[in-house]
Structure 1
Amino acid sequence: MNGEYDFWLLDLDGTLVDVEWSYTRDVFDRVGDRLGREFTDQEADIIWSGLSGSRDRQLEEWGIDPQEFWTAFHDEEDPLVRAEQTYLHEDAEFVAELEFPVGLVTHCQEFLCEPVLDHLDIHDWFDARLCCTEQTGWKPDPDPVQSVMDDLGVGHNGHRGVLAGDGACDVGAAWNAGLDAIHVERVGHERRGQCVLGDYRVQSFDELF
């Protein structure tokens, strides 16, 4: 499969890396204190992992203002602590061996993403990176994907590419940008509550090679 594509794009959290549950639980405890609402383990898991699709829509269904939540959430996240509690999936190490342009398109905010890449020493895996914002758009919007493709120099010249991620938004972003999609299912269909379709559906990147 390595030779099927001219470039690769990848998501970060839940795809290449994950965070120890104790960190996630602690953050949601502190956010809950600020909002005056407790979050169960299941609710924290749903939001952290994006199990129900749109996190903002899920928050609204629970009667929580998304802007208020994310302000509290980002205030309570400690970039250095998060980086120390983040680990690399062993099967993700193939990215270092790719001989094609590689880009990162992540919803992880830059102030959190950069320390994680530094801590895991994987900065040099990527030839271009984009941390999505309101200005860039969010996956499944193709705009952030197209932006990274442009940075890689593969935006409009017929190159064949693939985007790999752990969420339905990653698959949607790939297809909306005219790319093939790899869905890597890290949490399992039962925990997610649905199956996510993709051009490739795997539990480990090892299955691709």
Structure 2
Amino acid sequence: MDGEYDFWLLDLDGTLVDVEWSYTRDVFDRVGERLEYKFTDREADILWSGLTGSRDRQLRQWGIDPDEFWTVFHDEEDPMVRAEQTYLHDDAAFVADLEEPVGLVTHCQEFLCEPVLDRLGIRDWFDARLCCTPETGWKPDPNPVYRVMDDLGVGENGHAGVLAGDGAGDVGAAWNAGLDAIHVERVGHERRGRCVRGDYRVESFDELF
């Protein structure tokens, strides 16, 4: 794939990095106590990894108000602890070698994302980055993608780009923005409960090169 695209966009959590399960379990235990809801391991996994698509829709199906959940969830997350328990996937190292412009489009909130980038030493991998908010929209909405493309200077003139991520929302955002999509399956089809389509479907970025 070397030279096939004029620019690359990437998701962060579940795509380039992941968090130790002990951290996830601890956060959901504390959130559950405050919401008076006991999250099972499966439910915590579904929400953390976005296995069923829209997390807000999933929360409503469980009778949990999404706004209340996210307020409590972000209040219970410790940026420095999360950064300490976040690790970089070995196959993500290719990003450092890309010669094309590279952008980051992530649902990870800025107060959590920044310490992770610093601790892992990957901030300079990206020429532009955006942490999605209600104002920017959320993938598969293409607007966050367009904003990063504009920051990279590739929003016009027919530049060919690709977006890589671990979820259906990443693929949807890519296609909605007119880009090719790479789906990297980190959790496996059995655990996800379905297959996610993409222009490329891989279990490791090493398969692309």
Aligned residue number for residue 207 of structure 1: 207
Aligned residue number for residue 183 of structure 1: 183
Aligned residue number for residue 147 of structure 2: 147
What CA distance in whole angstroms lies between the structure 2 residues aligned with 1:99 and 1:157? 19
What CA distance in whole angstroms lies between the structure 2 residues aligned with 1:134 and 1:67? 11
Shift of 1:53: 0.3
Letter in 1 for 2:131: C
Aligned residue number for residue 135 of structure 2: 135
What CA distance in whole angstroms lies between the structure 2 residues aligned with 1:157 and 1:85? 41
Aligned residue number for residue 7 of structure 1: 7
Aligned residue number for residue 37 of structure 2: 37
Aligned residue number for residue 53 of structure 1: 53
Shift of 1:157: 1.4
What CA distance in whole angstroms lies between the structure 1 residues aligned with 2:37 and 2:130? 32
For residues 61-98 of structure 1, the C-alpha deviation after alignment (integer angstroms, 9 at most, x for no partner) is 00000000000000000000000000000000000000
Structure 1 segment 6-155 matched on structure 2, within 5 A = 6-155=6-155
**TM-score of the two chains, using structure 1 as the length reference:** 1.00
Gaps in structure 2 of 5+ consecutive residues: none
Shift of 1:2: 1.8
What CA distance in whole angstroms lies between the structure 2 residues aligned with 1:143 and 1:137? 6
Q: Secondary structure at the match of 1:3?
A: coil
For residues 142-178 of structure 1, the C-alpha deviation after alignment (integer angstroms, 9 at most, x for no partner) is 0000000000000011110000000000000000000
CA RMSD of aligned residues (A): 0.3
What CA distance in whole angstroms lies between the structure 2 residues aligned with 1:207 and 1:8? 17
What CA distance in whole angstroms lies between the structure 2 residues aligned with 1:131 and 1:184? 20
Gaps in structure 1 of 5+ consecutive residues: none
What CA distance in whole angstroms lies between the structure 2 residues aligned with 1:3 and 1:46? 36
Identity %, equivalent residues: 85
Aligned length: 209
What CA distance in whole angstroms lies between the structure 2 residues aligned with 1:193 and 1:53? 11
Letter in 2 for 1:208: L
Shift of 1:206: 0.2
What CA distance in whole angstroms lies between the structure 2 residues aligned with 1:134 and 1:55? 14
For residues 21-80 of structure 1, the C-alpha deviation after alignment (integer angstroms, 9 at most, x for no partner) is 000000000000000110000000000000000000000000000000000000000000
What CA distance in whole angstroms lies between the structure 1 residues aligned with 2:2 and 2:135? 33
Letter in 2 for 1:108: C
Letter in 1 for 2:164: A
Which aligned segments of 4 or more residues in structure 1 are displaced greater than 6 angstroms? none
Structure 1 segment 158-169 matched on structure 2, within 5 A = 158-169=158-169
Letter in 2 for 1:167: G
Letter in 1 for 2:133: T
Letter in 2 for 1:165: G
What CA distance in whole angstroms lies between the structure 2 residues aligned with 1:3 and 1:175? 20
What CA distance in whole angstroms lies between the structure 2 residues aligned with 1:46 and 1:14? 12
